[in-house]
Amino acid sequence: MTHDELLQAINDKLAYYTNNNFGASGFAVALRSIVKLHKPLSGWEDGVEVENHHCSCDEWDEYDAGYPCETIQAIEKELQ
């Protein structure tokens, strides 16, 4: 799932809660904020720029976490 698709899935859940008079759930709003902070960034590998190389939570790619990072993977898993 791409970053934009994940944000859309969360927005769809928020719309569902709102449209069914459940109100905008605080957890969904917080979840969307977390996903917005964990954006894919381009990076360099063997002298070639690679899109979606690592997560913005590891801006300098110090931990070689890649994208999606563990946080995004956990969110995606629970949304399926």
Q: Which two tokens stand for residue 61?
A: 């790619």
Respond yes or no on whether the N-terminal peptide bond of residue 40 is cis (omega within 30° of 0). Answer: no
Domain that holds residue 12: 3-79
Amino acid at the residue 20: N
- Report percent pLDDT > 90 for the chain: 38
Q: d(Cα 36, Cα 4) in Å, to the nearest integer?
A: 9
At 23 the pLDDT is 63
Task: Return the higher-pLDDT residue of 6 and 27.
Answer: 6
Closest listed residue to residue 54, CA positions, set 33, 44, 71, 40: 40
User: For the whole prediction, is pTM greater than 0.85?
Assistant: no
The answer to whether residue 47 scores a pLDDT higher than 80 is: yes
Summarised one tens digit per residue, pLDDT across range 56-68 is: 998 888 888 789 9
> How many structural domains compose the chain?
1
Q: Which two tokens stand for residue 46?
A: 């063997």
